[in-house]
Structure 1
Amino acid sequence: MSKSLDVDKLEREVKSVYRNVAETPDGEFHFEMGQDLVERLGYDTADLEYVPQAAIDSFAGVGHHFDLAELEPRETVLDLGSGSGMDMFVAALHVTETGSVTGVDMTDEQIENARRLAKEGGFHNVRVRRGHIESLPFDDESFDAVISNGVINLSAEKDRVFAEAYRVLKPGGRLVLSDIISETQMPERIKSNADLWAACIGGAEQIDGYREMVERAGFEAVELRENPQYQFISDQAANACQTYGVKSVSLVAHKR
């Protein structure tokens, strides 16, 4: 974390961006959203037929990792930063009515959207809790899998996020995520810019450091792959990608 980053300002900026994502998904953002992105990232079109269209429209994830997650019926899944629910609904299809999916998010408008879409879509095995991913409101060893998409880079305390994911996973459970990383360490002027953090750029951890944080939390068998299908769309973001190697990756790791 940058020493000069205003964490309270960061949270306000992130909430502001994702409030806008929830309310005006066709607005202009640093990142792409919606149906075209979802399909290009590799989501199964058979799954998408059952996902509420409004959740697809406001999807702001950065990768696809359900092939790595290998979710099974009867499993319990936690989605960190669940947004309007796109990945929750896909996960719910995979674990079936015999399993359950819980989302946690800090943005009221996203929570309200996800709850409404779950109710309208008949997803009885989906629930959403308000909370922070650095301090999860769940008991130890509650979940078979923890998933996340484009969210952990937004946290100023990534080590706490991974420690919390490890805590709430059952032994042998897995962490499966897509996120934004950088090939080289970014300078302080970017790391301390709350606006660039909220745009999924400033908080991108250098890839070796990212892997080390996951392993330090206790995870093993960390497998990581790049997602070249994902690209930022604003000039500012594209420049950061070229200069510092900012990119999307997917990762799977297991709790001992």
Structure 2
Amino acid sequence: MAHEEIVERYSGLARAALAGEDVVDCGAEAFARGCFGAAGYDDTSGLPEGALRASLGCGNPVAIAELRTGETVLDLGSGGGLDVLLSARRVGPTGRVYGLDAGTEMLELARRNAERAGAADVEFLHGVIEAIPLPDRSVDVVVSNCVVNLSDDKAAVLAEAFRVLRPGGRLGISDMVTDDVVTDDAVADDGVDAVRRAAAEARVGCAAGALATGDYRRLLAAAGFTGVDITLTADHGDGVHSAVVRAAKPAIGPGLEIRPMREADAAQVLAIYQAGLDTGQAGFETTAPSWEDFTSGKLEHLRYAAADVVTGEVAGWITASPVSSRCVYAGVVEHSVYVHPDHHSRGVGRALLAAFIAASEDAGIWTIQSGVFPENIASLRLHEALGFRAVGVRERVGRHHGTWRDVVLLERRSPVTGR
């Protein structure tokens, strides 16, 4: 279904709600079984009847996101405003809540409901969730209720959510997902026919098609999110589920953010690499490789840069390489982390390593390894603080500037992956 058709569809529902009618966006049986609408909330007392009547969600993202007093919240696809009003209750008078919707009639309905509820610190914005009309790093939490599945460019939606979140910000949404499909014959690994699955999606209102759980995870990781958790909450049959989706934007100190490494970072990344090698404590190499050689041995999905939010200058980076091509070692990687000399002692390395650990566990990595010179005390202490242990010392393993040097072997075993 095209974007214009989706907007018109929900505009029609808004018109019905404005006229005092009950609105439903899926079959009555699916609505009842899936806790769609206001049935999915614990406490809606005191809210306008119009907001409850127009609720079309598939869960309770406000509870999922664990909102706190004073936070700024954005609701993607805010509809009649129910989640905005509930969020405003949670964040209190020192917080602020934005609702974003593409339909002018939905916005009219939401503003009317907010006025009836006496909600002062809320604002409804007209726009699309693929291009959020808010500045970078302007909100603490992004919530959404059964809306991401309506977009035909879900990668853009998640990238935009990452952009507007502040470092350490959270994504907490309810959405529709499907089981992963792993074959080429239009039949899922659970035996569900693709036609039946499409019919089930239509039955519960997934206009543009729900993401498979594996694809959801990959798109969240590609956007830069870590700590990804997808929990199925209701089974609608034929491989279609309601789900809770949680993720976070990596935390780091003021003026910086952690994001996926880009091709445009090449020169700065290699310059930081060379600066580290020039100290004589970062590795056996003496000259940084070309960008082609650098990237060829690195895992594409575990590359992060810490960057200045104003200038874009790279303050540090972290990457990983597989330790072996054998499938038995698929969950074992070796990592490298480097920080620009101007940003030492600012917690950049710690923030990068913490984000990398979370992302590696999301990716199914169970062991992270590294080799560090014993003279590099700062690196040894950093790794120890984040759960690494020394498993041995390779004595006089290589010559560096004419001197035979030892290497301390470090390892972190995940407490959650590979158990």
Instruction: Tell me the TM-score normalized by structure 1.
Output: 0.81
1:199 to 195, 205, 218: 205
1:44 to 32, 42, 57: 42
1:215 Cα deviation (Å)?
1.3
CA distance in 2, matches of 1:16, 1:190: 26
In the other structure, the counterpart of 1:237 is none
- Note if 1:30 corresponds to 2:22: no
Q: Which runs of 5 or more structure 1 residues have no equivalent in the other structure? A: 1-8, 232-240
Cα contact 1:154–1:198 (8 A) shared by 2: no
- Note if 1:58 corresponds to 2:50: no
- Note if 1:252 corresponds to 2:246: yes
1:212 to 207, 211, 218: 218
Q: Deviations over 1:88-108 (max 9, x none)?
A: 000000001110100110011
Q: Deviations over 1:179-205 (max 9, x none)?
A: 011114478879999x94993155111
1:109 to 105, 111, 134: 105
- Note if 1:242 corresponds to 2:237: yes
1:100 to 96, 99, 121: 96
3-state SS of paired residue (1:114): helix
CA distance in 1, matches of 2:124, 2:24: 27
Instruction: Give me the CA root mean square deviation.
Output: 2.7
| 1:218–1:31 CA distance, 2 compared to 1 (3 A) | farther
3-state SS of paired residue (1:24): helix
Q: Deviations over 1:29-60 (max 9, x none)?
A: 425669x745542x222xx1132111111100
| 1:156–1:198 CA distance, 2 compared to 1 (3 A) | farther
Cα contact 1:196–1:202 (8 A) shared by 2: no
Cα contact 1:31–1:60 (8 A) shared by 2: no
3-state SS of paired residue (2:152): coil
1:116 Cα deviation (Å)?
1.4
Cα contact 2:76–2:100 (8 A) shared by 1: yes
CA distance in 1, matches of 2:3, 2:57: 18
Q: Deviations over 1:95-127 (max 9, x none)?
A: 011101001100111001111111222101111
1:134 to 127, 130, 138: 130
Greater strand proportion: 2
Q: Which amino acid aligns with 1:222?
A: V
Cα contact 2:97–2:122 (8 A) shared by 1: yes
| 1:159–1:198 CA distance, 2 compared to 1 (3 A) | farther
1:136 Cα deviation (Å)?
0.8
- Note if 1:17 corresponds to 2:9: yes
Q: How does 1:126-165 map to 2 (within 5 A)?
A: 126-165=122-161
Cα contact 1:80–1:104 (8 A) shared by 2: yes
Q: Which amino acid aligns with 2:249?
A: K
Cα contact 2:228–2:248 (8 A) shared by 1: yes
Q: Deviations over 1:209-238 (max 9, x none)?
A: 11111111100011221122xx7xxxxxxx
Identity of aligned residues (%): 35
| 1:166–1:197 CA distance, 2 compared to 1 (3 A) | farther
CA distance in 1, matches of 2:135, 2:112: 26
Q: Which amino acid aligns with 2:144?
A: S
| 1:27–1:253 CA distance, 2 compared to 1 (3 A) | closer
Q: Which runs of 5 or more structure 2 residues have no equivalent in the other structure? A: 188-193, 251-419
- The structure whose RCO (Cα within 8 Å, separation 6+) is larger is 1
Cα contact 2:139–2:164 (8 A) shared by 1: yes
3-state SS of paired residue (1:139): coil
Cα contact 1:101–1:126 (8 A) shared by 2: yes
Q: Which amino acid aligns with 1:13?
A: E
Cα contact 2:175–2:243 (8 A) shared by 1: yes
| 1:146–1:27 CA distance, 2 compared to 1 (3 A) | closer
Structure number, greater radius of gyration: 2
